[in-house]
Structure formats: C-alpha cells, structure tokens
Amino acid sequence: MTLIALTVAWVAFLLGMAWYIAVLDGLWAAAREGRAPRAPLANPLYRCATILRQQSNLTEAPDLLNWRLAPALYAGLAGTGVALVPFSSASVLADLEVGIVWWGAVEALTVVVVFLHGWSANSQLGLIGAYRYVAIGLPVMLISMFVLIAAALPAESLAVPKIIESQRELWNVIRQPLGLPLFLLLGLSLSFRGPFNYADSADIAGGTAAEVSGAPRLVWEFARLAMLTAVATVAASVFLGGYLGPWLPGPVWLVLKTTAVLLVSVGLSHQLARISPSRMMTLIWTVLLPLSFLHLVWAGVLAL
C-alpha cells in the first residue's frame, strides 16, 4: 500500500513539476520579450496536444530501435533520480545505501542516451548536437561528482536519506557554499537549457530533436523537464535539507525547496547567453573543475 501511494506521489510529482517548469518558462519568456503571457497555465497543455496531434515521422535509414528508445530511457533516468529522494523521513521509493553512486550512473547514462538520440536519427544536425553534448556533458558530470562526494562527507554515507539527516543542524548550502551553484550548472547541462543547451539549440535546428515529431518528441520534451526536476529535487535534498523544516510537513518542504531551485534554474537558463562549445570546455576544465576540486578539499578539511 505504501509502495503504491509512493509511486502515485512520484508520478504526480514528476508531472506537476514538469508543468510548473513549462509555466515558468512561458512567464519568463513573455517578461523578457516584453509582452503579456499567453494563457500561461494552460499553454503547456495546448502545446502537448499540438505535439501529440502530429504524426511521428521517420527519417531515411534511422536506427529506429534506439531512436524510439532514447526518449523513454531519458525519462526513465530522470524518474529514477527522483525516486532516490525521500519525501519524508519514512517515505522513499528507492532507499539505496549508494544513492549518490546511482545518481552518478544517471548522469553518465544521460550522456549516452542524448548521444544516441542525436545519432540514431541519421541526420547531420542531430549528430552535431550529439557530439557537442558529449564534449560538454562529460566534464560537467565530473564537477557534479566532486560536489556530491563533498556533500556525502559530513554524513559519512552515500545514501540520500542519511545526507539529509546530516543537515539537521546546518544545511550543506551554508557548510559548503560552492556546492549548490556548481550543481545547478549540472541541471542546465543534463536538461540542455540556456547557456548549456549544446544538444538541442536553434542554431542546429533543434539538434538531437531536429528530426523527431509526434509522441516521441513529447516524451523527449517531457524527459528534459523531468530531468531538470530530478536535479532540483536532488539539489533540494543534498544542499537544502530536503524534507527538513519547521511547522510544515516534510513533503511540503521538499516541494517548496524544489520549486525554489527550479525557479532559479529556469531564470538562469533564460538570462544567460551561451558561449561556443570549445570556450565552454576551456571554462569547465580550467576554472569550474579545479573550483569543484577545491570545494571537495574544503569539505574534507571541515569533516576531519
């Protein structure tokens, strides 16, 4: 029974947060464009219906199995990421002792799945998106692993529930101030948004999604939102104490913190310009990665 209730909550959380991000995107874009938003609450639903009403097209000689599987796998990876996070001290769908390692696998497999999506359509612009994503996705993943290991040090555990419990006195965002900002970059990279949208950007006509339409496209777009949700949920738990908080029930705190992290993520994705992939690689390898390593050393010294 508990498992069923948790599963329902997990699905509702993923769908609700995806809708929330889509609404935020619409509002933010309208504000930046200097016009009134168009049916902000219902527009995401209308767009879903539009995509679903379109035919699922084919390209010449695609790797059809992988092309159709990639969106589902991407959504699945996002889903398992959210499943790692407890809604309260007693309710977690996937209570793993090695949750952080699992999350590392989610990040690594996302790189594979996004590459697969771009490559399997047998289209040149999709392939460019795929190449670019691998080049950027891999080093960003390293940053996130340093940051997460640092967060696991005070808890002396790789389980997400234990990391949350270790923040009863002090949230990690205060103890390790660089962690959350660096982790937010991962969110933008895993869901390829704004300054980290190297996979599906308009300069390559939609990149890995340039050839996909109909239901597979809907799954792909949902998976991007779900992946950002997963990153925000993990960030809210690992850096902001997850379900911990006074007066309100644990799940409410988790939802509030996740929506706040998503608000910042969506804002960053609309506000920041994108630099060329090679300059981003240089920035990651020479600035952000050493910074995340220093962060780990700092966390290690504190934990001693």
Partner 1 sequence: MAVKLLERLAARAPVPVFVAMGRDRAPAVERLLRSADIDVTATPRHASILLIAGRVRDSDQAYLDRLHDQLPHPRTTFWWGDEPQADVDDARRAASSDDPVISLRALYRNLISGAHASETHRLADEPPAPWRGKGDHGQGGEGMMGGVPYGRMMPMPPTPDIRDGLTLDVYTTQIGPFMPYWPAGLVLEVTFQGDVIQSAYVVQPPYPPRDVDRVPFDRLLHETTALAQIERARAAHHLVCIARVLSLVGLPTLSRRAQILAARVRANETIAIAPLRKAAARSGLTAALAPGLGRIDDRLARELGGPVQRAAGHAIDDRSDNPTYTRLDFTPVTQTQSDCRARLAQWFDEAEQALALVSAAPDAMIGQGALVEAPWALRAPPIDYRVTELLPGLEWSEALLVLNSFDSAALCRMGPLETP
d(CA 67, CA 134): 17
Q: Which residue number, 11 or 49, has a Cβ lying nearer to partner 1?
A: 49
Residue from 8, 41, 248, 275 in contact with partner 1 (CB under 8 A): 275
- CA of 194: how far to CAs of 61, 79, 114, 299, in Å? 31, 22, 17, 30
d(CA 290, CA 234): 23
| By the rule CB under 8 A, 68 interacts with partner 1 | no
Residue from 167, 197, 258, 265 in contact with partner 1 (CB under 8 A): 197
Q: Quote the radius of gyration of the chain (alpha carbons, Å).
A: 19
Residue from 204, 218, 230, 255 in contact with partner 1 (CB under 8 A): 204
What is the DSSP-derived secondary structure letter of residue 195? G
| By the rule CB under 8 A, 287 interacts with partner 1 | no
Q: Which residue number, 38 or 297, has a Cβ lying nearer to partner 1?
A: 38
Categorise residue 61: left if φ over 0, alpha if ψ from -120 to 50, beta otherwise. left
Q: Are 87 and 250 in contact (CB under 8 A)?
A: yes
* Phi, psi torsion values for 291, nearest 5 degrees: -65, -40
Stretch that binds partner 1, among 23-31, 76-84, 105-113, 233-241 (CB under 8 A): 23-31
How many Å separate Cα 284 from the centre of its chain?
18
Q: Are 304 and 150 in contact (CB under 8 A)?
A: no
| By the rule CB under 8 A, 170 interacts with partner 1 | no
Q: Which residue number, 79 or 221, has a Cβ lying nearer to partner 1?
A: 221
Write out the binding residues for partner 1, residues 35-64 only, by CB under 8 A.
35-39, 42-43, 45-50, 52-57, 60-63
**String of contacts with partner 1 for each residue 212-231, x by CB under 8 A:** xxx--x--------------
Write out the binding residues for partner 1, residues 102-161 only, by CB under 8 A.
124, 128, 131-132
| By the rule CB under 8 A, 270 interacts with partner 1 | yes
- CA of 37: how far to CAs of 24, 264, 270, in Å? 10, 19, 15
Q: Where are the beta strands (DSSP E) in the chain?
A: none
Which residues here bind partner 1, judged by CB under 8 A? 28-30, 32-39, 42-43, 45-50, 52-57, 60-63, 124, 128, 131-132, 194-195, 197, 201-206, 209-214, 217, 270-279
